Amino acid sequence: MNQELTLAISAVINAALAQQSGASGQTLVLPEYHGLGSSISFKSWYDKCLDLFEAFGIRDKKRRVANLKLQFRSTAETELANYMIKENAVVISTTQILYDNLSSKFIDPSYPQILRRKLQMLKQTGSLADYISAESNLVGDY
């Protein structure tokens, strides 16, 4: 398992270096974010996108922000539009500003109840490490 992880990390680093030195033929595909009710938290989505930006060597702040905004769908897209209308004086020029201003809009008020139900349904079917990993994935980073 650790060897597979090492190989995967190595492949990502090599791909990023190849992208910086010339055309690699790879295409950046960011995950979509749908807002409340998504299977992934806003923070997890945001962190994954930042990791992909790093892997592809995308350093331009405006390009990063534009790419993040393009991945909003459904209620997330509506929340972004509402925020832009209400807070038109705030310029979202960096990914950190985007995160700081929008993260509070995507906290599900029923999260404690959902988490409690998911934890009650969690069963150990494999190793202890797998169980702990599954538990930490449920808790997430809200």
pLDDT, tens digit (0-9, with 9 covering 90-100), for 64-99 = 999 999 999 999 999 999 999 998 888 899 999 999
For residue 118, is it within any domain? yes
What one-letter code names the amino acid at 130?
A: D
For residue 23, is it within any domain? no
The H-or-E segment that residue 84 falls in is helix 74-86
For residue 19, is it within any domain? no
Domain assignment of residue 140, given as a range: 109-142
Same domain? For 60 and 89 the reply is yes
Average pLDDT rounded to a whole number, residues 37-65: 91
Calculate what percentage of the chain has a pLDDT beyond 90: 43
What one-letter code names the amino acid at 67?
A: N
Same domain? For 124 and 84 the reply is no
Residue position matching structure tokens 């038109």: 88
CB atoms within 10 A of CB 114: 13
For residue 8, is it within any domain? no
pLDDT score for 117: 87
Catalogue the E-assigned strands of the chain.
Answer: none
